[in-house]
Structure 1
Amino acid sequence: MTKQSFALTITVMTHIWGPALVRISGDESVAGQILATPGGGVEFKFPERMVMIANHQIYTDWLYLWWVGYANRPGMHGHIYIILKESLKYIPFIGTGMMFYGFIYMSRKMATDQPRLAYRLNKLKQKKIDPSGRAYFDPMWLLLFPEGTNLSRNGRKKSSQWAEKNGLKDPDHVMLPRSTGIFFCLNELKDTVDYVYDCTVAYEGIPRGKYGEEIFGLASTYFQGRPPKSVNLYWRRFRLADIPLNDQKEFDIWLRDQWYKKDALMEEYLKKGRFPALTGGKTEYVETEVKTRHPWEILQIFTVVGTAGLLWHNVRKFLSTIAAKVGVMKISLVFAAMKSLDETLSVIQLLLNPIAGNDAVSPTQVGPSFSVGKPSYGILIGSRVHHQSKRGERRAISRCASKSGGAARLWSLAAPFRVDIDKTTGIRTLCVK
């Protein structure tokens, strides 16, 4: 599924299972860039390359900001890159999807994160040349949350302790931002990006002194019918040329000042139930909801999924035909013990016959991993019974990996099988039909 299709999927999921009013405003720096459209929609006129920063209230902040990319003209939902804490990649479906779209996961240890970050940013700032010889950069929205995590009791406590330790003012409604990561990003991208867009996010239904993560989780929003009553977004824009990027200490002060202003905006929201009105716009607020622009766009999701399904069906049919001609393939299983995290022993090495020749090199174990000398070898990482027919045939789905010449390969094995055991040697032979 493409990044655009995944964003559409998230938009449709939110519209159906987590509907909420979205109220949008901003200061004079974004005047004329947030427009109400006929039919109750919104159109953003943000640039094709920018860095976006925001306070982090709940786990789903980034979903609403990704939708802003969809509502932008030109659409940017296929060109957004989000810097997230590493634990989020384990969220079912959503986390898996993000791993394939160039999102950047951070451990919040700069010594570990900086090489990873530098690698990704280098790709995002590469200059391209079109057929006419004109230089250009690919569209890109880079979204990051300088607080490092969503607002919580524990996070709020740590932020307060940090403020006291360093003699800083402690904000009431946000956490003090971490400047190292964003300072690095802006310096890496400053020659290819002109603006930083800042969004202050607030949700209706979070009482003063309470924490959004305790009220609006993924489960409550999408599966229990308890989304926020409204999502409130307040936008500001800064020129990179006006941000002190030559001195880390000056940048720290600048970023903290922006977070103190956010804190004041949050206080106004809690008192009045909304942010300040849109400055210089035709309306004070643009009110809409997370939805697709046209109903037929939902078909794009099923088109991609359907095409992938048809391709997989044809590939399996082709492989089944080949297997039928070749006959029964025997796979010798040599059991090798490896201590896993849960103290179980479960790794199995696979030797494919007759593919393996006499000169094939046996796998060698190094710590918790295996290296493989020939592509005819592999490791059975995991398997489960997928089907049990009336004739007693079983179908296994196994993930196998091998290395040859430094290049790793990953493939799947799905076929009826039986296991024969040699009583003398104890060697198991897996016969795949």
Structure 2
Amino acid sequence: MLLSLVLHMYSLRCVLPAVVLLGTAPTYVLAWGAWRLLSALLPARFYQAVDDRLYCIYQSTVLFFFENYTGVQILLYGDLPKNKENIIYLANHQCTVDWIVANILAVRQSALGHVRYVLKDGLKWLPLYGCYFSQMYLVIFPEGTRYNPELTKVISASQAFAAQEGLPVLKHVLTPRVKATHVAFDSMKNYLDAVYDVTVAFEGTVDERGQRKEAPSMVEFLCKECPKIHIHIDRIDKKDVPEEQVYMRRWLHERFEIKDKLLIEFYDSLDPERRNRFPGKSVPSKLSLKKTLPSLLVLGGLTAGLLATEAGRKLYVKTWVYGTLIGCLWVGIKA
């Protein structure tokens, strides 16, 4: 009985983050909508500055749970970000936590409010946030779908395509697609400083036989089932990125060959000193509560105030219902 209770309580660790993050969503949307109306007659830079700040508050609240609440250890390797830059972030894609990892790096450069994503098309139908996510960019996962070792048909098809095209076959990543990267780079090259080529590995994703397992889901991550995230960063100056699509395609595949070699050593190395780590020196990076707790208190306080009155509760419910319907209608029209 006691063991059953302990296991039940453990499984509920993700409930608090889910309640807070979903529960504060209408508050965020209402704040954004009010500012959108108030700033209609102001120069665009004023709207953008506050919009970035609001977005930073919500994402900082997300990071409170994914870093401070879970107690995960972040280990950085390679070209550690120092100054805030305009970048395209290219990464391997394993699970739904990957977009959080992009935020983990951005907050350490004080650039969290400026992060935008190229995400899977289906995510535009998310309640309240879908229409917002569907317009974001900069963070790109060129594989197009998640690498899951259990989806052998997806991996086989990716490897067969690479072989057919005369490209090296990759083991721990899928063959990258160039279109989104090329469009983003071509559109933004006048404003870019660099491309961050990021390789991510979640510790604990190898079974007792040495076989790679599926990366942790958001629920598993929030239940503290991922002790460490290893993040390797290669900073590539924009002048070193080929602009023509045919050359960028080869360049992108070469970058994923480098990722694959890093992950082969991480997961498959016979040397225990080299397994579960990337080459070179690692730098532990702990996120201060000062970066996340104030945002949680502000957003939570505003939500509590909204729910404290009958009028506030009605507005809250209407925001959930009508905000979701309007968002779905908007992305449907834009599609």
Give the TM-score normalised by the residue count of structure 1. Answer: 0.54
Of 70, 77, 99, the residue aligned with 2:130 is 99
Query: Which structure dedicates a bigger proportion of its chain to helix?
Result: 2
State the SS of the aligned residue for 2:233. Answer: strand
Residue 252 (structure 1) aligns with: 249
Of 133, 136, 142, the residue aligned with 1:146 is 142
What stretches of structure 1 of length at least 5 have no aligned partner? 35-43, 105-116, 122-141, 278-283, 321-385, 387-396, 409-433
Of 284, 291, 295, the residue aligned with 1:300 is 295
Cα distance, 1:202–1:98 mapped onto 2, change above 3 Å: farther
Deviation at 1:203, TM superposition (A): 1.3
Cα distance, 1:175–1:46 mapped onto 2, change above 3 Å: farther
For the pair 1:205 / 2:204, whether they are aligned, the reply is yes
Deviation at 1:315, TM superposition (A): 8.7
Query: Counterpart of 2:256 in structure 1: which amino acid?
Result: W
Asked if the contact 1:198–1:235 (Cα under 8 Å) also holds between the matched residues in 2, the reply is yes
Count of residue pairs the alignment pairs up: 261
Query: Counterpart of 2:296 in structure 1: which amino acid?
Result: I
Asked if the contact 2:58–2:295 (Cα under 8 Å) also holds between the matched residues in 1, the reply is no
For the pair 1:316 / 2:311, whether they are aligned, the reply is yes
Cα distance, 1:219–1:400 mapped onto 2, change above 3 Å: closer
CA distances 1:48-86 after superposition (whole Å, capped 9, x unpaired): 3111111112220110221211121xx111110011113
Query: Counterpart of 1:259 in structure 2: which amino acid?
Result: F
Query: Counterpart of 1:264 in structure 2: which amino acid?
Result: K
Asked if the contact 2:64–2:289 (Cα under 8 Å) also holds between the matched residues in 1, the reply is no
State the SS of the aligned residue for 1:175. Answer: coil
State the SS of the aligned residue for 2:116. Answer: strand
Residue 240 (structure 2) aligns with: 242
Q: Distance in 2 between matches of 1:99 and 1:399?
A: 13
Residue 20 (structure 1) aligns with: 72
State the SS of the aligned residue for 2:284. Answer: strand
Query: Counterpart of 1:316 in structure 2: which amino acid?
Result: A
Residue 333 (structure 2) aligns with: none
Deviation at 1:189, TM superposition (A): 0.5
Query: Counterpart of 1:210 in structure 2: which amino acid?
Result: R
Residue 50 (structure 1) aligns with: 87
- Aligned counterparts, 1:391-406, within 5 A: 399=322
Cα distance, 1:400–1:189 mapped onto 2, change above 3 Å: closer
Identity %: 22
Asked if the contact 1:54–1:201 (Cα under 8 Å) also holds between the matched residues in 2, the reply is yes
Of 62, 71, 83, the residue aligned with 2:99 is 62
Deviation at 1:256, TM superposition (A): 0.5
For the pair 1:233 / 2:228, whether they are aligned, the reply is no
For the pair 1:84 / 2:119, whether they are aligned, the reply is yes
Residue 279 (structure 2) aligns with: 276
Q: Distance in 1 between matches of 2:245 and 2:257?
A: 18
What stretches of structure 2 of length at least 5 have no aligned partner? 1-27, 29-53, 331-335
Give the TM-score normalised by the residue count of structure 2. Answer: 0.68
CA distances 1:305-358 after superposition (whole Å, capped 9, x unpaired): 4235535767927x99xxxxxxxxxxxxxxxxxxxxxxxxxxxxxxxxxxxxxx
Asked if the contact 1:147–1:176 (Cα under 8 Å) also holds between the matched residues in 2, the reply is yes
CA distances 1:210-263 after superposition (whole Å, capped 9, x unpaired): 2424xx11222224x42x221101111112222111x22111111111111111
State the SS of the aligned residue for 1:299. Answer: helix
For the pair 1:266 / 2:263, whether they are aligned, the reply is yes
Asked if the contact 1:200–1:262 (Cα under 8 Å) also holds between the matched residues in 2, the reply is yes
- Aligned counterparts, 1:163-174, within 5 A: 163-174=162-173
Cα distance, 1:7–1:257 mapped onto 2, change above 3 Å: same
